[in-house]
Structure 1
Amino acid sequence: MRDQRTSTTRRAARFSRLPVTVALGVSALLAVAGPPAAAKGPADLPNLQAALDALKSTATRDAVCRFLTAPVPNGSTGAAVTIPAKTDPCEGVPAFTIKDPVALNEIAPAFVTGTAQPTLADALKLAYAVAGVTTSGGRTATVMLAPTGTTGWHLAAVREGDTDATFAGKADLTATVFSEPQIRGFYQLKLTTVEPLNDAARQGLNGQASVSLADYQKLVKARYADKQPGSEYDTKGFSSGLGTGRPPSSPSTTPLIIGGSGTALALAGGAVVLRRRKRAQSG
């Protein structure tokens, strides 16, 4: 009888330790696997704080104000018009808010030329951090920040409308959003399937609802492989290389401010200079 009680006691002790053992095992597994993946968002930007600081800077505020007040020429002349700078660029400008930045990906040059493999890692590159702007009157714009080295961001451009920021913000755990800037097409990449997000992208896929990433590479190679920086197409002034009509990607004290219809506004010495770029004849 005593042996039976002893055996029962030992079994009870073993079972009482089981939850502790299981709990320790689960903890060990979590330590190896790491925490669950977080949803994509602004934090995916390298050095998010630097991007936020750039957006909150006086330079960005003044650039947005100049953009909202400067008249954009609608004609096709190449003449430059200089607008004297105000002491306070934001004087008389409607109140506006700048949203948090999100990542804007673009097709990578090596992917376009066909030297890179049709994979997510090789097909796309982080081009800008973009933030939507909304005024109290309902007008929208987009602030574009370009990378400074590997850790920083600087003001590159202000663009009419919030298309870039709106589409870039659609990225999630299942889809990576990217743009084909030459046609202002926006796509989402799900594993190895490319799907259009706007009309320009649908035209870029020849009306197809989706294509494989490999087939998409063939399409952009046919469109742009001979229009890379340094090509005859580029040197004759028909484009600025792969990124036709894009803002500069290196730090500058004179950020380019892009309006509609190919019009560019550059800040020079505190004044606003309006120019009109040559329009690309292809791509």
Structure 2
Amino acid sequence: MRKNTRRALTATTSLAAGAGVSLGLFLGTGSAHAADLSVPAPKAPAATDLAQAAHAAGTAQAREMAGRFFVHLDQRARHLPVDQAARADITAQAAAKSPEAAGDAVPVYSLSADFVTGKTGSAPAQVAYLAVKSVSADGRQATARVEPQQHGYAVVGMAQGTDELAYAAKAKDGYAFTEPQLNAWYRVSGQQVLPLNESARQSVGEHGTTLTAYQHLVHQRYADKLPGSVYQKSHKYGGVTPATGTVSLADTTPRALLAGGGGAVAAGAGALLITLVTRRRDTTA
């Protein structure tokens, strides 16, 4: 598998999987078939869900999380050791960041397991989470990852930059989605899958490909690595799921952590710091 060049979020539960359910992007059954696929668009979240997600990103708890995240970015820039950074009292620094949620919640679509396995009538992607921009007092931007919880929506993680929002804005007449194991971003227009970044161009070519051809491509890449596969049973990372990247602050090469069960939810400032990874900026069309 190629190393993932995206930066980590701090949780991997899925909107599509429902409240309290771990993200299982590649959970699915079925088999690929040679005939052209009838490919619908992914189901979009309701307006009420988007409104609740935007509200959740602006709560005091979410702003505190964002403030700590921005401080951790500063610590990383200073190459502060992980253990020292995790022990530091950053409460006052986090409050000084005065982060605010900005703009609407945007659905982030990611490759669907049913599409990988060729299940009839499956969309290429599904909603993985909702994204809301967060801006600190000094102008630094991040993306809040918002997901449904037992009692409404909550921010479960932060990520540096606003790549998800930038790619979604490039959807034009279709929708954008990611193939997370490659950090590839695509735009679906009609029956075409078009690349939005360099990883996607390496995947499907400069001019893209058809949805049917793309389905065959991802089937070859992932169908034998789903949970329950020989790949998983041989203890090779537990099967392919869109988990976070987990690296030390000294590691400058972000990569995917392939883990069964949707990966682990990071808890506390120390864990947030450890799972922070800065990805290569790549929002070229």
Q: Normalising to structure 2: TM-score of the pair? A: 0.62
- Larger relative CO (CA 8 A, sep 6+): 1 or 2? 2
1:261 Cα deviation from its structure 2 partner? 2.2
> Is the CA contact 2:99–2:137 (under 8 Å) kept in the aligned structure 1?
yes
Q: Quick check: 2:50–2:104 contact (8 Å CA) kept in 1?
A: no
Deviation at 1:59, TM superposition (A): 1.9
Shift of 1:237: 5.8
Q: Percent identity?
A: 26
1:215-247 alpha-carbon deviations (Å, 9 max, x no partner)? 111111111112223445556363773214279
Give the direction of change, closer, same or farther, for the CA distance of 1:203–1:229 in structure 2 (3 Å limit).
Answer: same
Instruction: Provide the rounded CA distance (Å) in 2 between the counterparts of 1:244 and 1:112.
Output: 17
Give, in whole Å, the separation in 2 of the partners of 1:45 and 1:222.
36
SS in 2 for 1:209: coil
Query: C-alpha displacement at 1:153, in angstroms?
Result: 2.7
- Structure 1: gaps (5+ residues): 1-41, 248-258, 278-283
Take 1:64 and 1:187, find their aligned partners in 2: how far apart are those partners? 28
Query: How many residues are matched?
Result: 216
Deviation at 1:137, TM superposition (A): 3.7
For residue 108 of structure 2, what is the amino acid of its counterpart? L
| Partner-residue secondary structure (3-state), 1:177 | strand
Counterpart of 1:214 in structure 2 is: 212
Q: What is aligned with 1:153?
A: 153
Is this contact kept in 2: 1:104–1:129, CA < 8 A?
A: yes
Contact 2:116 2:215 survives alignment (8 Å): yes
Distance in 1 between the 2:208 and 2:103 partners? 31
**2:240 corresponds to:** 241
CA distance in 1, matches of 2:120, 2:245: 22
Q: Pick the structure with greater CA Rg.
A: 1
Between stretches 186-195 and 66-75, larger displacement belongs to 66-75
- The residue identity in structure 2 corresponding to 1:102 is V
Given residue 129 of structure 2, which amino acid in structure 1 is its aligned partner? Y
Aligned to 1:69: 71
Question: Matches of residues 70-149 of structure 1 in structure 2 within 5 Å?
Answer: 70=72, 71-72=75-76, 82-88=86-92, 90-93=94-97, 97-117=101-121, 122-148=123-149
Counterpart in the other structure of 1:261: 254
- Give the match for residue 36 of structure 1: none
How far residue 203 of structure 1 moved from its aligned partner, in angstroms, is: 1.2
